[in-house]
Amino acid sequence: MKKWSILFIILFFMVIGFAAVNTVLDYEGLVEIAKKVEDFKIVITDLVVDDIDVLGNIDINEKEFSFEGKNIEYTISNDSTLYDAEVYLKCIILEEELLYHVGVIPAQEMLTKSFSLTEKQVGNCMIETTGIDRTSVVLDSCEFNIGDSFEFAYTGNEQKIFVPCNGEYKLETWGAEGGSSLKSSNYSGGYGAYAVGEIALIRNRPLFIYVGGEGKKVIVPNSTVEGGYNGGGFGQTLPTSGPGASASDTSAGSGGGATHIASYPGLLSSLSEKVENVFIVSGGGGGGSYVNSGSGGGNYGGGGHAGGIKGGNTRNYGEHTILYNRYGIGGDQTGEAGTGSSYVIFGKAGIGAFKESGGGGGGYYGGLAGGLCGGGGGSSYIGNPLLTNKVMYCYQCITSKEESTKTISTNNVSAKPIANSAKSGAGYAKITLIRLINQKEN
């Protein structure tokens, strides 16, 4: 009896050894694969329903998603380094089960597919795998070389990439400058801030980049101009004639927008409940303002420069601004800046007690609009714990030595995106591969 037991054990391990070197492993079902092959991992990394990114509909394990719509586009990634996979998508729609063949996805690759329904429906889909092949590539080569980068200028729209390789990346962002009052350079918009940090990213994961728009100018009395893209506050001028006219000359600028990089889509102001998905933010400058109100005058001020830990307040403001405490306040890290009916807001310019002024700059927390003077600058953000070797630079700003809010003041400013320098004009972003992880360079 004992001899038969020993023979059975020997034969069992011979079979296991054969399976280990065989080129085909035929495990049925994703659960069994997960149990038997530690390296094997197939996940859903992107989902677009009726042209809208809805990553929040993907479950936490990235194995299934829900939808409500007509046209569904999804991306499935094979994070394995050892196995290719044949993948299907099983969907339940109106209690009917539909099976879509996604195809064979090689190790470390992704595949984007779509399907359309005749009308808008609610459904749920999950990935299934019927078999896997052992790939000959153990360390997949990366077509991106160390030092290569993606660069993003202002477009006024979401910009999106898929991470090209497993590796560490340097993220750099520059916020946008606020709009200027045309009366004097003393009433110009504040400069955008610069932020930098390093982060490890997984191949094929989507990144969403929103580059801040420069603030605009308005010289027409009793008019409003929209703020820069991604959170800049509007600028507004007073009437110079007719009932209620209180100024003989007026001009203003709106706030500059923030620039941010995140793993979830949406303008910064929409991500207050998903801060963990925000990797880095550079604040925008506040807009400048000038009001000549006749006798006494003195309602004016330049926009506050964007900050790191805290945005700058209104600059070069007049005596009325001081007398009535109307200056714009810079955004902070917690949303506590401001008092009463004037308060800062996550991701965009704050609400001021007065409408006629330069707009606040966008930011992690946006700057507060002033009263008949320039708006405050927005704050920046490097507090995500995944980010390392991180720091923020801003023009003549408040500094910090804490790792999560490290801020350095600089006198450097450029219209071009230069490291460690504040920014004039529109914002900018840059993502650079600095180190490969479990991959070899092409």
Q: Which DSSP string do the residues of 79-142 spell out, in sequence order?
A: --SSEEEEEEEEEEETTEEEEEEEEEE-TT-EEEEEEEEEEEEEEEEEEEEEEEEE-S-SS-EE
Q: Across-strand partners of 295?
A: none
Query: Residue 386, SS3?
Result: coil
Pick from 150, 224, 211, 225: nearest CA to 176: 211
pLDDT at residue 408 in the model:
98
Neighbour-count burial of 316, counting CB atoms closer than 10 A to its CB (0-12 exposed, 13-18 middle, 19+ buried): middle
Q: Is there a contact between 361 and 232 (Cβ–Cβ < 8 Å)?
A: yes
Residue 4: per-residue pLDDT: 44
Taking only Cα atoms into account, the Rg of the chain, rounded to an integer number of angstroms, comes to 27
Start-to-end C-alpha separation, the chain: 57
Could you identify the residue written with the tokens 């939808």?
67
> What is the side-by-side strand order in the sheet with 278-282?
159-162, 206-210, 259-262, 278-282
CB contact at 8 A, 259 and 282? yes
* Element housing 7 (H / E): helix 2-21
pLDDT score of 8: 38
User: How many helices (H) and strands (E) are present in the chain, helices listed first?
Assistant: 3, 29
Mark 334-372 as b/e (b = at least 16 C-beta within 10 Å): ebebbeeebbbbbbbbbbbbbebbbbbbbbbbbbbbbbb
Q: Which of 285, 294, 318, 67 is nearest to 191 (CA)?
A: 285
* Cα→Cα distances 141→13, 31, 79, 299, 307, Å: 34, 28, 14, 61, 40
208: which strand partners?
160, 262
pLDDT score for 25:
32
CA dist., res. 207 & res. 201, Å (int) = 10
Which of the 8 DSSP states describes residue 187? G
- pLDDT at position 193 is 98
Hey, what domains does the chain have and what are their CATH numbers?
A: 24-134 (2.60.40), 149-436 (no CATH)
Question: What confidence score (pLDDT) does residue 133 get?
Answer: 64
Residues composing the chain: 442
The amino acid that residue 224 corresponds to is: T
Q: What is the pLDDT of residue 440?
A: 58
In sequence order, what are the residues at sequence separation of 6 or more whose Cβ sits closer than 8 angstroms to the Cβ of residue 289?
181, 187, 235, 251, 252, 253, 299, 300, 301, 303, 356, 357, 358, 370, 372, 373, 374, 375
Query: Given the DSSP bridges, would you call strands 413-414 and 422-423 parallel, antiparallel or unpaired?
Result: parallel
pLDDT tens over the chain, length 442 residues: 444 444 433 333 333 333 333 323 332 333 333 333 456 789 999 999 999 999 999 998 899 999 999 999 999 998 887 778 889 999 999 889 999 999 888 888 899 999 999 999 999 999 998 667 665 444 456 788 999 999 999 999 999 999 998 899 999 999 999 998 766 666 789 999 999 999 999 888 999 999 999 999 877 777 788 999 999 998 877 666 655 555 556 778 899 999 999 999 999 999 999 999 999 999 999 998 877 665 555 566 788 999 999 999 988 665 555 545 567 889 999 988 765 556 778 999 876 655 557 889 999 999 988 777 788 999 999 999 999 999 999 999 999 999 999 999 999 999 999 999 999 999 999 999 999 886 655 5
Pairing, β 83-93 against β 217-218: unpaired
